[in-house]
Amino acid sequence: MTTLEIVEILVRIAWLVGAVAFVIGLGRMNSPATARNGNLVSAGGMTIAVAATAILILARQSSDGGFSAVPWLIIVAGIALGGGLGLYTARAVKMTAMPQLVSLFNAVGGGAAALIAIDDYIRLANAGSHVRIDEHIFIVLDIIIGSITFTGSIIASGKLQGLIAGKPIIVPGGQLVTLALAAVTVVGALFLFATGTPNLATMVLILAAALIFGVTMTLPIGGADMPVVISLLNSFTGTAVAMAGFVINNPVLIIAGALVGASGAILTKLMADAMNRSVLNIMIGGFGGGDDAAGAVEGPGGSVRSIGADDVAIQLAYAQHVIVVPGYGLAVAQAQHAVRELAELLEERGVDVKYAIHPVAGRMPGHMNVLLAEANVPYPQLKEMDDINPEFARCDVALVIGANDVTNPAARRPGSPVSGMPILDVDQAKSIVVIKRSMGKGYAGIDNELYTNEKTGMLFADAKDGLAALTAAVKAL
């Protein structure tokens, strides 16, 4: 064996070690106790795989007759640039803005995967040789999926950041545009497969269609559905990376890409299930111009009782058990520190405070836990839905902050858009206080029967301002 052959074998073994580390790392994310270690194991695997690749490049260069500086310039400059940006943004980001950053990292990952296929195709086109059908299929799939995830994730990130309106944006004739883009892609791909000759113009057309499709797919989807979309796009990137692995015949890309593709798909389904919607419904619901369910079922009318901060403060201060129900509105108003402050004040007065966390509270599953953990809320006070639901009957005051559909008792009856969605049994509490900016409807677009419940008082305020007013009022008691 030549030296190069030996190095090639050792590098493949190192890649295998990296792939195993990814699987073990993901596995260790099973529990909070081992999760951080799992992430480090995965990062270690990544380091090994990248270092091995650098050695492989050196070995190939020296067997090709000498060291060339240009590839190293590209690699070092790219790593310095990307690594610097990644490190800076990841360190500087506020935890509330974390979902959009994850989406941005996802975008560049998908972009890199698409670029690998584009580069490969340019080389094939320059050589002008026949392209095997399997090569063509993987290149086309990599370019399509990678491009959709690139623009789609950027739009999703922009929506979460508030740079693009969070509301569903309806593109005029959106469905026609989608159909046209799909037609361009399919016809272009079939043409390439049939001819077997590399054709750059057709590939550029497919690339453009996929890039536009990523935009039109994500734009019409409302802010509350963004977690599902980001998770779906994460799964797409994994798949695109696996396709890139097929294109350059690299096993570690195939393994890691497939792992992420599978995990993203499962997460997406879990999130959609928790909202009692199908993934297809979320994607097409946007295309069709919003949720048709809106207005289909009118909640029973009824009067709403408005309540002042002082009254709420008295209720809270003299309660024994209080359950806080944080929702999307709390995340938007970035009120997690305000809620912890109020809870600590109440605990000093001997009130037992717990948090009821719905699986889809916040902007991503588990996001609410992260936000509250960041605000130093003790971890054991955060209760999952199934654990906390029996406790509502014993609780004196349920304080709902910016949560809507996940508390709507209408979900227990058939015939409502939220029917069957798992909800928090807030209506079982002895008294209910809802902090909400207005009587605006939740994502499902229906009235929340909880608000017209006779036990419910509505404190109309922004989550942060409302909590600050409550904290001040409790202090004044």
Active site residues per annotation: 405
347, two tokens: 């605990």
If the CB atoms of residues 128 and 172 are measured against other proteins, the closer one turns out to be: 128
379 contacts other proteins (rule: CB under 8 A): yes
Residue whose C-alpha is closest to residue 153's, from 105, 116, 113, 114:
105
Residue whose C-alpha is closest to residue 346's, from 303, 377, 302:
377
Segment 133 to 192, residues that bind other proteins, using CB under 8 A: 133-134
Least separation in angstroms between residue 5's CB and other proteins is 17
Residue whose C-alpha is closest to residue 221's, from 150, 153, 293, 289:
289
Least separation in angstroms between residue 375's CB and other proteins is 9
102, two tokens: 């994850």
Strand order in the sheet with 352-357: 382-384, 352-357, 321-326, 397-401, 431-436, 456-460
Q: At what angle do helices 367-374 and 336-348 cross, to 10 degrees?
A: 60
Count CA atoms closer than 13 A to 197's CA, side-chain side.
Answer: 4
- Site size for other proteins (CB under 8 A): 120
If the CB atoms of residues 39 and 419 are measured against other proteins, the closer one turns out to be: 39
Stretch that binds other proteins, among 233-241, 394-402, 422-430, 460-468 (CB under 8 A): 233-241
Count CA atoms closer than 13 A to 170's CA, side-chain side.
Answer: 7
Least separation in angstroms between residue 178's CB and other proteins is 26
Which x/- pattern over 388-427 shows residues binding other proteins (rule: CB under 8 A)? ----------------------------------------
If the CB atoms of residues 348 and 454 are measured against other proteins, the closer one turns out to be: 348
237 contacts other proteins (rule: CB under 8 A): yes
To which H or E segment does residue 402 belong?
none
89 contacts other proteins (rule: CB under 8 A): yes
177, two tokens: 């545009």
CB 299 within 8 A of CB 447: yes
244 contacts other proteins (rule: CB under 8 A): yes
Tell me, what amino acid is at 138?
F
If the CB atoms of residues 116 and 181 are measured against other proteins, the closer one turns out to be: 116
Work out which of 307, 359, 465, 468 binds other proteins, going by CB under 8 A: 359
Least separation in angstroms between residue 104's CB and other proteins is 8
380 contacts other proteins (rule: CB under 8 A): yes
254 contacts other proteins (rule: CB under 8 A): yes
DSSP letter for 101, please.
H
Stretch that binds other proteins, among 21-29, 297-305, 459-467, 469-477 (CB under 8 A): 21-29
81 contacts other proteins (rule: CB under 8 A): yes
305, two tokens: 């009782």
Work out which of 196, 288, 366, 422 binds other proteins, going by CB under 8 A: 366
If the CB atoms of residues 181 and 323 are measured against other proteins, the closer one turns out to be: 323
CB 245 within 8 A of CB 117: no
CA angle 45, 252, 105 (to 5 degrees): 70
C-alpha–C-alpha distance, residues 177 and 183, integer Å? 10
Segment 93 to 122, residues that bind other proteins, using CB under 8 A: 93, 95, 98-99, 101-102, 104-106, 108-109, 111-113, 115-116, 118-120, 122
384 contacts other proteins (rule: CB under 8 A): yes
290 contacts other proteins (rule: CB under 8 A): no
Residue whose C-alpha is closest to residue 142's, from 245, 291, 264:
245
C-alpha–C-alpha distance, residues 445 and 138, integer Å? 42
304 contacts other proteins (rule: CB under 8 A): no
Work out which of 9, 67, 83, 302 binds other proteins, going by CB under 8 A: 83
C-alpha–C-alpha distance, residues 240 and 232, integer Å? 12
Which x/- pattern over 24-63 shows residues binding other proteins (rule: CB under 8 A)? -xxx-xxxxx-xx-xxx-xx--x--xx--xx-xx--xx--
If the CB atoms of residues 249 and 320 are measured against other proteins, the closer one turns out to be: 249
Tell me, what amino acid is at 420?
G
Least separation in angstroms between residue 209's CB and other proteins is 20
Give the Cβ contact number of residue 102 at 10 Å: 20
